[in-house]
Each structure stands twice: as C-alpha cells, then as structure tokens.
Structure 1
Amino acid sequence: MPQTTQTTRPAQRRAPKFARLPLLDADGRPHPLENGLSIATFTLGVIAFLCGLFPGAHVAAAWLGAIGFWGGFYSQYVSATTPERALNIIGIVASFVGVAMGIYHGGFLP
C-alpha cells in the first residue's frame, strides 16, 4: 500500500507573485519580507550614492544613506539566503558611501 508510506506535508504558505524572486529565493521557499528588505536596502544605497555625487543633493544623500545603512543591518540580520545577504552588503556599502559624501557636502540639514 503506497499511500500508507507517504508522508503528508504541512500546507505551505504561498507568497504573492511579486514576492517570488527566484534569484533571491535560493532555498526554494518564498521570503517576501526578506526579499523586500534586501531590495529596499539596495535601492536606498544606490540612490544615496548617486545623490552623494551632487553637492546640491547632500540632504537626500545623508538621510537616504542613513536609513539604508541601518535598515540594511536589520535586513542582514533577518536574511535567509546568500543572494539576499550579498544584495544587503552592496546596499549597506553604497548607503555608507552615500551618507559619507552627503555629510561631506553639507550634512543632514539644508
């Protein structure tokens, strides 16, 4: 009787389609919160870095860099897969450079 030897799996929670990123879900399970935090960290880091290149955008660079830097640490803490961690590190470094350039060009206040 093959049906007696099969084990039943618990019902898995299905993530929304926008949260399924096969490149970040290396273990085959969806991680919508972790993926969102990793993408947000990366995005904030890139924007802070680009704003840090322009002296007139020092306020945006400083604030976005600080938010991306500390948010990236939390994202790194809760990350579940190696690709998420790699994206977090790129975002954290870009945020740090962005906030450093923002502070150099004038700081957090206009």
Structure 2
Amino acid sequence: MAQAVRRSPLSHFSHFSPFAFLNSDGRPHPVENSFAAVTLLLGGVAAITAIWDGLHLVSSWTGLAGVATGMWAQFISATTGERFVTVIGLGAAAVGMYLGVAHGGFIT
C-alpha cells in the first residue's frame, strides 16, 4: 500500500494559498473559491464605479455580472468561508447595480 502514503509534490504548499481560510474543511475547492473571488471583485468594481454618475454603464453591467456570478457561487459553495465572501460580494454588486441603474441604466 505504498500508493496510499504517497503525497502530491505540491501538497506542502497548500497552506500558502491566498484562499486557505476558505477551505475550512481541509480540502481544496478551486472552482468554488474562484467564483467567490470573482464575485467579490465584480462587487467591488460595481460599488466603486457607482460613485460617479458617468460610469453608470460600468457599474450596472458589472453589478449584474456580479449578482449572477454570486448567485451561482452560493449555489455551489462548500464552506462557510466561501459563503461569507460571496455574500459580501453579492451585496456590493447589488448596490453597485442599483445605483448604476438609478444613474442612467444599462443603456446610454
């Protein structure tokens, strides 16, 4: 049973991952973590660009993409950390989208 003891050559680098706090169950979830990170990024962009009236197209579309990505991330999430990051990103994306729509909408 030597194959049962064999470890991956990169397994000792797993604690250096920037998403290590998202993997609270000890297993890697690259797809779920990526969706959570993209949701947070899109939500941040939507919320920041919603400050200016002239960037309503960016904030509206980025917010819509962030909400759609966040809903899928919530659907496939495996740990509480992923859900926490996704909800923060979803909230920011929704606020950015709503303010973008209030400033002019999806079309100029």
Same fold (TM over 0.5): yes
Deviation at residue 22 of structure 1 after TM alignment: 1.1
1:75 aligns with 2:73: yes
Over alpha carbons, which structure has the higher Rg? Answer: 1
Residue of structure 1 in register with 2:32 after alignment? 34
Query: In the TM superposition, what are the counterparts of 1:1-110 in structure 2 within 5 Å?
Result: 8=4, 20=17, 21-110=19-108
Deviation per residue, 1:53-106 (Å, 9 max, x gap): 110100000000001001100000000110100000001110100000000000
Secondary structure of 1:23's counterpart equals helix
Q: Report sequence identity in percent.
A: 36
The TM-score normalised by the length of structure 2 is 0.84
Counterpart CA distance in 2 for 1:32 and 1:71 is 15
AA in 2 matched with 1:62: S
The count of aligned residue pairs is 102
Unaligned runs of 5+ in 1: none
Structure with the higher fraction of residues in helix conformation: 2
Any runs of at least 4 consecutive aligned residues in structure 1 with deviations exceeding 4 A, and if so which? Answer: 14-17
Over the residues paired in the alignment, what is the CA RMSD in angstroms? Answer: 2.4
